[in-house]
Amino acid sequence: MINEHVFNNTKFEESEILKIFIGICRGLEVMHNYKHTSNSSASGRLFSEGNDEDEALLARNETAEDDENDENDNLHLPHPATDAGTEAETNNSTEMAETIPFAHHDLKPPNVMLSAEGLSVLVDLGSCSRARIRVRTRQQALTVTDFAQEHCTLPYRAPELMDVETGAYITEATDIWSLGCLLYCTCFGYSPFEKLEIDQGANLNLAISQGKYHIPEDRNGYSKELIDLIRQCLQVKAKNRPTARDLIQRALEISRKLDV
Ligand SMILES: *[C@@H]1O[C@H](CO)[C@@H](O)[C@H](O)[C@H]1NC(C)=O
Ligand SMILES: *[C@@H]1O[C@H](CO)[C@@H](O)[C@H](O)[C@H]1NC(C)=O
Ligand SMILES: *[C@@H]1O[C@H](CO)[C@@H](O)[C@H](O)[C@H]1NC(C)=O
Ligand SMILES: *[C@@H]1O[C@H](CO)[C@@H](O)[C@H](O)[C@H]1NC(C)=O
Ligand SMILES: *[C@@H]1O[C@H](CO)[C@@H](O)[C@H](O)[C@H]1NC(C)=O
């Protein structure tokens, strides 16, 4: 649809963009807060709608990268603090449940399909794997950089995955960066960094590492609030990026204003 709009010289309605965006965020929210239980037959109920299918996809073993598996055993994957809301839910249950965030790792327009009802569906989960990686050694840094080069499409790849540093702590915020690129692309027809390269022959790696991109003055007619969502996602410091949950709230607020 993005390509058709470029070809037709038309664009998405802001409300369409928000609907697609919120759908993607909901998918990411599930992945980023994936609950692992020791009893898989009972774990479906931890998803608000008992979504067994999502779970089956997410619960797959550490993707197909056999060479990654050895490495993953050495990487320290911390037990993230579960947030208060989900804790109350699991506190009093008999199964052991812990949040193990997964990240899609290759979020880009071709990996979002629209269902017949127009709902966003995240596809191509071949790169989906544990999101949080504490990079302790030079060797681990190289392994993660290789993983990113192989799986995370360059114009959508987060700066912290460009040349992974020893001591880095990679999180699901990498998906939020990609999401910002995807939202930009939905608004303007190109990834923000692709466009810079096409227009100015800029070095893609450098532009991404420095978070250098350009928003057209006229914002293609979109609201400042919508464009602000892009800016919030495309922050070089991963810690400053909002969570999928934050973004759903902000996008819903923008939608509500449109409806008035
Ligand atoms: C582009 O134009 C064609 C021909 O008019 C139309 O069928 C198609 O739906 C348009 N695409 C979009 C995304 O609006
Ligand atoms: C998992 O839970 C089901 C009921 O929800 C129970 O029948 C089954 O024995 C449990 N399996 C294990 C391995 O605990
Ligand atoms: C996943 O891992 C388990 C044990 O860790 C193994 O028994 C199972 O065959 C693996 N499944 C796949 C699809 O690799
Ligand atoms: C959770 O468990 C603790 C003790 O383990 C208890 O004090 C607390 O009231 C429980 N919270 C809920 C919401 O059940
Ligand atoms: C769970 O909570 C209920 C009340 O909400 C209580 O009766 C029950 O004993 C609790 N179970 C455990 C295992 O704490």
Which runs of consecutive H residues, i.e. helices, occur in the chain? Answer: 2-8, 14-32, 40-43, 52-58, 66-74, 84-91, 138-151, 173-188, 192-200, 204-210, 224-233, 244-259
pLDDT of residue 51: 39
For the chain, how big is the Rg over CA atoms in Å?
19
pLDDT of residue 223: 96
Per-residue tokens: 111: 């990996």
Using DSSP, state whether 169 is helix, strand or coil.
Answer: strand
Q: Residue 35: which CATH number?
A: 1.10.510.10
The torsion angle over the Cα atoms of residues 220, 12, 173 and 80, rounded to 10 degrees, is 140
- The answer, yes or no, to whether any atom of ligand 2 lies below 6 A from the CB of 41, is yes
Q: Which residue has the tokens 């037990």?
A: 79
Per-residue tokens: 61: 């073993």
pLDDT of residue 98: 82
Q: Which residues contact 22 (CB under 8 A, 6 or more apart)?
A: 120, 248, 251, 252, 255
pLDDT of residue 91: 60
Considering the entire predicted model, what is its pTM? 0.69
Of ligand 4's listed atoms, the one at least distance from the Cα of 92 is 14
Q: Give the single-character DSSP code of 152.
A: S
Q: 114-166: per-residue pLDDT in tens?
A: 999 889 999 999 999 999 999 999 999 999 999 999 999 999 999 999 999 99
Using DSSP, state whether 103 is helix, strand or coil.
Answer: strand
Ligand that comes closest to the CA of residue 1:
1
pLDDT tens, residue order, the chain (260 aa): 999 999 999 999 999 999 999 999 999 999 999 987 665 544 333 333 333 433 333 344 444 343 344 334 333 333 333 343 444 445 665 556 788 999 999 999 999 999 998 899 999 999 999 999 999 999 999 999 999 999 999 999 999 999 999 999 999 999 999 999 999 999 999 999 886 666 666 688 889 999 999 999 999 999 999 999 999 999 999 999 999 999 999 999 999 998 76
- The answer, yes or no, to whether any atom of ligand 1 lies below 6 A from the CB of 10, is yes
Kindly list the distances between the CA atom of residue 35 and the CA atoms of 32, 48, 201, 229, in Å, as whole numbers in the listed order: 9, 11, 44, 27
Domain that holds residue 156: 2-259
- Can you spell out the DSSP letters for 197-252? HHHH---HHHHHHHT-----TTGGG--HHHHHHHHHH--SSGGGSPPHHHHHHHHH
Q: From ligand 3's centre to the CA of 61, what distance in Å?
A: 6
Q: How many distinct structural domains can be found in the chain?
A: 1
Ligand that comes closest to the CA of residue 64:
3
